[in-house]
Amino acid sequence: MSVSPSGVLPRIGPSPEGDPELQKHTALLDAAVSYLVAHPRASLAQIAAAAGIGRTTLFKLFATRDELEHAVAVRALAVCQAAVDEADSRWAHRSDDGGLRALVTALLPIGPQLNFIWRTPSLDVDDEVHRVYLQLDRSLIAVLGRARSAGVLRDLPDWWLGQSLYALVYVAWESVQSGRLARLDAPDLVLDTMLSGVGAPSPTHTSTRRSTR
């Protein structure tokens, strides 16, 4: 697995309503993921300052950077899983694409979480994070499988479809953050590339089709 500091995190994922301490803890992890994406080599003191808490408070919660990165990753995966579940339960069974558009639309705002999960080396040897990531992957592939059954996607390996979608979503999120891509245009661009690729129609195929008419 290897946001800009001002990026706005989506308000999805497990909600700690009714528990002020848990709300603070979740807010800390959400602030940390944004800061670490923009500043991957930041110290714990810098992360604490960015999250608006004291260095001592952060050290009481996480004694080492690995502990913090583990907690941030678990929270990030929970947000990602919630996005997939929301797309799956709310729209998937009422669309003719198996929920593909709903999935893409749900994943695009969580670029910071995906970025952190893929680009943090310590997570490669974190068994719990790996287990939760595999569950997320299974949920995503289930949606892609329905899209394939609906005739929207080609009969390609699950892992290839999943990695292709992740890559396109990631690039689209980065492009929105840099100002090259309008946020509202991102889902259509991801879907068009996913479904049609980037190659131009073959002139040979075009002429063949015309000659058979």
pLDDT on residue 18: 56
Mean pLDDT of the chain: 82
From residue 70, alpha-carbon distances to 24, 92, 97 in Å are 17, 31, 35
Q: What is the pTM of this model?
A: 0.74
Q: Is the dihedral of CA 83, 143, 153, 117 positive or negative?
A: positive
| Domains of the chain (ranges, CATH numbers) | 20-198 (1.10.357.10)
Rounded average pLDDT over 128-140: 92
Phi-psi region of 199 (alpha: psi -120 to 50; beta: other; left: phi over 0): beta
